[in-house]
Amino acid sequence: MQSAMQARSKLPDVGTTIFTVIGQLAAQHDALNLSQGAPNFAPDAKLIDGVANAMRAGHNQYAPMSGIAALREALADKVETLYGVRYDPASEVTVIASASEGLYSTISALVHPGDEVIYFEPSFDSYGPIVRLQGATPVPIKLSLADFRVNWDEVAAAITPKTRMIIINTPHNPTATVFDDADITRLKVLTRNTDIVILADEVYEHVVFDGAKHQSMACHSELAERSVIVSSFGKSYHVTGWRVGYCLAPAELMNEIRKVHQFMVFSADTPMQYAFVDVLANRESYLGLSAFYQQKRDLLAHGLRESRFELLPSAGSFFMLARFRGFSDETDSDFVLRLIRDARVATIPLSAFYSDGTDSGLIRLSFSKDDATLIEGARRLCEI
């Protein structure tokens, strides 16, 4: 049907996300999917049983707007055990309908027209568009191409009286870097005595490798008092399609976030919330993730040891970057398309994570896959 109306787009330069495009091409060419950070293996059967049991018990209607009380209490207990700080389950913990919803609700609630929001590229692709939808200005700062670390001197230079928020993501998607003590120190100094809110995307909080410590904003009281932390059950429990996460923030900030959350979705899916209460009681369900995914990282890296790719270090998350400039001068987008057609392996061009399309000859690989997929994917990539 052709509309008689002319739409006035708020995002005229935004099209279909790269994840959808690559997913469609992968299906068309029957390619192995090493592109999306979505596991292709089953979650714990006890979790599925927990959802089914909750449904049978009649938990099929709206949950409380902020999440069921038992889950908020369990999350507060978990955070206190891991990070040494207690968030009030009643006023400082909210169950959200995916981390993406948490990001949107937070930015929409706390960022106003004319504000500026600093974030780091390459970045998850929703940050900039969400900021723009609030009538605010995204201020992307590029991570160093040498090691994908934050140049805090550049951040200091970018802060203005209009800076309302800094978005951080550790472990980082797509570069697989993690914050260290030096990053935390500089962040404290730059935000001290300001009105800057820190939005911490910590969806990979339990996927940190080689004995490193996750630098949650909750660990540092000076940062926690100005931070909104967003995390994901989907990433931690291999159920990205369930779209449930959680948000932590001081009560004054959370009150504003809940105002938006209630009108976006009102509440997250009810049966899933009951199931997560039960699995959170088993600490190993999330504390074992680092070892689990480190094995998968190492399996993929081992399989690619004879390839022509240069693999970059992966300190956390589901991802690693691979450089191909040593044997191809194609754009990263063209190279990814060739991999899908010729090798039947789907990856993501790193340029998709930059607002200006910066092409540094890198692709992102996801190892959140079963071992057979990783072994076969590596074999095919070794033939390139």
Q: Are 72 and 93 in contact (CB under 8 A)?
A: yes
pLDDT value at position 29?
Answer: 87
Is 360 exposed, middle or buried, given 0-12, 13-18 or 19+ CB atoms closer than 10 A? middle
Q: Are 123 and 140 in contact (CB under 8 A)?
A: yes
Q: 41 Cβ partners below 8 Å, 6+ apart? A: 238, 369, 370
Average pLDDT along the chain, 384 residues, taken 10 residues at a time: 79 78 86 91 94 97 97 97 96 97 98 98 95 98 96 98 98 98 98 97 97 96 98 95 97 98 96 96 93 98 97 97 96 94 95 94 97 97 94
Mean pLDDT across the chain, nearest whole number? 95
pLDDT value at position 183?
Answer: 98
Q: 310 Cβ partners below 8 Å, 6+ apart? A: 322, 323, 324, 326
**What is the DSSP-derived secondary structure letter of residue 351?**
G
Tens of pLDDT, residues 42-76 = 999 999 999 999 999 999 999 999 999 999 999 99
**Within the chain, what is the greatest distance between any pair of CA atoms?**
60
Whether omega before 171 lies within 30 degrees of 0, making that bond cis, reads yes
What is the rounded CA–CA span in Å between residue 315 and residue 300? Answer: 14
Q: Are 52 and 45 in contact (CB under 8 A)?
A: no
DSSP states of 32-77? EE-SSS---S---HHHHHHHHHHHHTT--SPPPTT--HHHHHHHHH
Is 127 exposed, middle or buried, given 0-12, 13-18 or 19+ CB atoms closer than 10 A? buried
Q: What is the pTM of this model?
A: 0.95
Token pair in block for residue 35? 């592109």
What is the rounded CA–CA span in Å between residue 176 and residue 319? Answer: 6
Q: Are 81 and 218 in contact (CB under 8 A)?
A: no
**What is the DSSP-derived secondary structure letter of residue 239?**
-
pLDDT value at position 336?
Answer: 95
Domains of the chain, earliest start first: 18-43+287-382 (3.90.1150.10), 61-285 (3.40.640.10)
> Strands 137-142 and 163-169: what pairing?
unpaired
Q: 146 Cβ partners below 8 Å, 6+ apart? A: none
* Long-range contacts, stretch 320-323, CB < 8 angstroms, 24+ apart: 320/176, 320/364, 320/365, 320/367, 321/174, 321/175, 321/176, 321/350, 321/362, 321/363, 321/364, 321/365, 322/347, 322/362, 322/363, 322/364, 322/365, 323/361, 323/362
Q: Name the nearest CA neighbour of 167 among 210, 203, 219, 213.
A: 203
* Long-range contacts, stretch 296-299, CB < 8 angstroms, 24+ apart: 296/367, 296/368, 296/369, 296/371, 296/374, 297/209, 297/367, 299/367, 299/371, 299/374, 299/375
Its sign, for the CA torsion 365, 369, 373, 374, is positive
